[in-house]
Amino acid sequence: MMRSPQALAIAVRLPNGSVLLKDEPYTSLTQRYPILKKPLLRGPVILIESLVTGVQALTFSAQAALEEEQEQLGWGSLALTLGGAFILAFLVFGFLPHWLSGLAGYLIGRPLTTADFGFHVIDGAIKLIFIVLYIWIISRFGEIRRVFEYHGAEHKSICTYEAREPLDVEHARQHCTAHPRCGTSFILVVLLVSLLLFAVFFPLVPPLTHRGFLNNIVQVLVKVLLMFPIAALAYEIIRWGGKHEDSLLAKVLLWPGLFTQRLTALEPDDSQLEVALEALKAVLAREARANTAS
């Protein structure tokens, strides 16, 4: 999937070897409402739009594959799958690390609550371990590995475009699979920002620092709500880092995400590069037509 300010394209390699391309105009909420382009407002909007378009791309690719096999993927099945995935993510990456962080107090001989900075350090460390383990485990599955290889193909294609080189497999093949503005880097920056924000926020609201199972649930729900300002700050950091890649501070901030991309953006083959380049070319062509028309 490739997206630009005015275009969206999804290219899928069908089981018969051909490439199916979905190419359509795209208008971001930031284009419709310019105020959303302001710093700290654009981050959450872009995050939500990325989630929506990502689900659309996965749905389109799944439907395309199933149509080749004369099957259908109903919206009920899709909603159930996505709903189950979000609930599982909430439990594994939200509630469980939070609960385990409270139990960690017994290991150091004193209770830990959300009023303690150490609680949030442990919480962040557990989340990081869970995320890396999760990515590593699912990458062992052949289908997911193919997805990660296509992810690498997307990055190589974008790097080729940014280097102003011809958009062909020969030039794309020479680039690395990592990219500083990748969503993987965003996740790691979100983790760091959330650690600092939670450590400041919770001590300021004493009722939210009490222990107990129900309080744990409330605290995790509050963390979910705080994801919007966290996403806003994280996006600005990623945006700044992408513009100052040679800066030492940018390298330090983005290094964890670039390192993690060794798991999520794998080396693609030439056929996968062809698919990514098809999507990129379609987006650039539609973008050029839209700019000419305006």
User: Residue 57's pLDDT is what?
Assistant: 83
- Residue 185, pLDDT > 80, answer no
Out of 4-18, 78-92, 151-165, 186-200, give the one with best mean pLDDT.
151-165
User: Residue 211's pLDDT is what?
Assistant: 83
Nearest Cα residue to 215 out of 117, 288, 285, 114: 114
Q: How many CB atoms lie within 10 A of CB 12?
A: 21
Out of 19-23, 53-57, 70-74, 149-153, give the one with best mean pLDDT.
149-153
Sheet containing strand 19-25, strands side by side: 2-4, 7-13, 19-25
- Residue 100, pLDDT > 90, answer yes
| Alpha helix positions (H), 139-174 | 142-162, 169-172
- Residue 209, pLDDT > 80, answer yes
Q: How many CB atoms lie within 10 A of CB 90?
A: 14
CA distances from 98 to 46, 74, 190, 234 (A): 27, 35, 16, 21
The average pLDDT across 241-270 equals 85
User: Residue 52's pLDDT is what?
Assistant: 84
- Residue 71, pLDDT > 80, answer no
User: Residue 149's pLDDT is what?
Assistant: 95
- Measured CA to CA, the distance from residue 223 to residue 95 in angstroms comes to 10
User: Residue 260's pLDDT is what?
Assistant: 84
The average pLDDT across 228-238 equals 88
- Residue 119, pLDDT > 60, answer yes
- Residue 134, pLDDT > 60, answer yes
Secondary structure class of 69 (helix, strand, coil): coil
Question: Looking at per-residue confidence, does 57 or 201 come out higher?
Answer: 201
